[in-house]
């Protein structure tokens, strides 16, 4: 018998990071070790963008 519940599937780090932000948790609440792939993924989920992507520039009217 599987240990995985149909009601609570295991979350990936990106989903966990997005959920943490939605719940109002601070960014430093990331549970993964520094310089790990899981931490990078968690932060991408928290920020809603890949870590290596530059921030969007503001749109100028004029």
Would you list the domain boundaries of the chain? 13-47
Q: Which pLDDT score is estimated for 2?
A: 42
Which is nearest to 16 in space by CA: 42, 40, 38? Answer: 42
**DSSP per-residue codes, the chain:** --S--SSSPPPPHHHHHHHHHHTT--GGG--SPTT-HHHHHHHHHHHTS-TTSPPPPPPPP-
pTM passes above 0.75: no
Q: Which pLDDT score is estimated for 3?
A: 47
Query: Which pLDDT tens digit goes with each residue over 4-62?
Result: 445 555 579 999 999 999 999 999 999 999 999 999 999 999 998 877 766 667 788 76
Q: Which pLDDT score is estimated for 1?
A: 41
Q: Which pLDDT score is estimated for 58?
A: 78
Which DSSP category does 36 fall into? -
Q: Which pLDDT score is estimated for 5?
A: 45
- Measured in whole angstroms, how far is the alpha carbon of residue 17 from the centre of its chain? 3
């Amino acid at each position: 018998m599987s240990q995985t519940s149909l009601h609570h599937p295991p979350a990936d780090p990106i989903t966990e990071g997005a959920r943490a932000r939605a719940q109002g948790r601070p960014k430093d609440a990331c549970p993964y070790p520094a310089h790990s792939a899981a931490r990078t993924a968690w932060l991408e989920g928290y920020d809603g963008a890949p870590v290596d992507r530059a921030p969007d520039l503001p749109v100028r009217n004029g």
